[in-house]
Structure 1
Amino acid sequence: EFDFTQISSDMIIDLMLNYTEQYLFQQIVLDSRAAFDKADTPENVASLEQDLRSLINSSVDKHMSKQLKNGANSLTRKDIENIQIKALEDIWGEWEDYLND
């Protein structure tokens, strides 16, 4: 039987971070399809996807983890939305820089 009392703030934060990572990965892949279309082999596509996933994981951790953990009990829905938007903007900038290198 599932026990709701076993859910901690850290578990909820980890769930939010994982969700955000998955969402951002899917969104960026869809929005930057042209970059993936330029990859001339399946290996290059896989490498781009792996690099993107790595960038997103480290960026979400850098931009969101500390803010969420510091304010876990006092963040409003709007605060969380703003944190996610800022992370998305930063990740997009980093991804574009990576593609232009």
Structure 2
Amino acid sequence: MGTSQSSTGPNGGSPLVPPWADDQPEQPLSPPQRRRFAPFRESLGNAVSNGNKADFRKAIGHYARKASGGSSNAARRLGSVTQAGGGLFGTLAQIAMSSGEPYIDLARLTGLPCEMAISAIAQALTTQDGDSEKISAAINNALIEALDGIEIFDPQKITDDVIINTMIGYLTECIFIQMVMDSNKAWNKADTPSKAIHAETELRELIKVVVDKHMAPKLVGNIKNFPINQFINIERQVIIEVWQEWEAYE
């Protein structure tokens, strides 16, 4: 994903959780703080400019504590992400949905070039709301990375390790994209393309390390038999734990 954006991102008056994303709409939301994005954007701009890992950590800390409104609000903000993630997990594990059918029958994709199969999976699972582009990009990127080296799609290649790597990559990418979308003009501080690429790589890696740390231990045993709702709850818990760790970043 590139860092160029067509909008400046949300402002301090934007709701902490858009209605389409909220997976707990019955729970009251605290009002957003004025200028809640300012410390995050300033620190991220510094990090993009100088490449300093300490500034990236400082930006992430500001994002977790203030810009996103803390761990519980972050889990609600990523409600569409966790729901789509449940569909992705169920599809890869070929677990039947409540209707008795998977979202997409992977057997029908057998023999297709892997890129075409990945595109079909992303199209079938992407939500039709304000998070659709983010979710589609995250599914594509996660599957491309997890299936690297496989040219022709074969459902037999969907091992437990592929599922685990895909789900860690998917949640990482969704969080990364959300941070970029919320960063406003911070990326303009990169005065060369190489600085922008370095900043993306650094931020994505810092996110992935912590997501992996909290998700991998929860995906053990016969994961293909995990109920969809159990996996969605795992995603929510991982988001909360990741944010709680980030809130300590100074």
- How would you bin the TM-score normalised by the shorter chain? 0.5 to 0.7
Which stretch of structure 1 is more off in the superposition, 74-83 or 84-93? 84-93
Q: Which residue of 2 aligns with 1:41?
A: 189
Q: Supply the AA of the counterpart residue of 1:63.
A: H
Given that 1:64 and 1:87 are in contact with CA atoms closer than 8 Å, whether structure 2 keeps it comes out as yes
What is the correspondence of 1:49-88 to structure 2 with a 5 Å cutoff?
49-88=200-239
Aligned length: 96
Q: What is the alpha-carbon distance in structure 2 between the residues aligned to residue 29 and residue 71 of structure 1?
A: 35
Deviations 1:40-85 (A, max 9, x none): 8327877764443233111111111121133513321111111111
Structure 2 unaligned spans of 5+: 1-110, 112-152
Larger Rg: 2
Aligned partners of 1:63 and 1:26: how far apart in 2?
19
**Cα root mean square deviation, aligned:** 2.9
Q: Which has the higher helix share?
A: 1
Q: What stretches of structure 1 move > 4 A for 4+ residues in a row?
A: 43-51
1:3 correspondence with 2:3? no
Unmatched 5+ stretches in structure 1: none
Question: Is the contact between residue 13 and residue 69 of structure 1 (CA under 8 Å) also seen in structure 2?
Answer: no
Q: So what's the TM-score if we normalise by structure 1?
A: 0.68
What's the secondary structure of 1:85's corresponding residue?
helix
Match of 1:15 among 151, 166, 174: 166
Is this contact kept in 2: 1:55–1:95, CA < 8 A?
no
Preserved CA contact (<8 Å) 2:214 2:242 = no
Query: Following TM superposition, by how much is the alpha carbon of 1:92 offset from its aligned partner in structure 2, in angstroms?
Result: 2.9
- Taking structure 2 as the reference length, what is the TM-score of the superposition? 0.32
2 CA distance for matches of 1:40 and 1:30?
13
Between 1:22-31 and 1:58-67, the stretch displaced more is 22-31
Q: Percent identity?
A: 31
Matches of 1:58 and 1:71, distance apart in 2: 24
Q: Contact 2:214–2:238 at 8 Å: present in 1 too?
A: yes
1:27 corresponds to which residue? 178
Higher relative contact order (CA closer than 8 Å, sequence separation 6+):
1
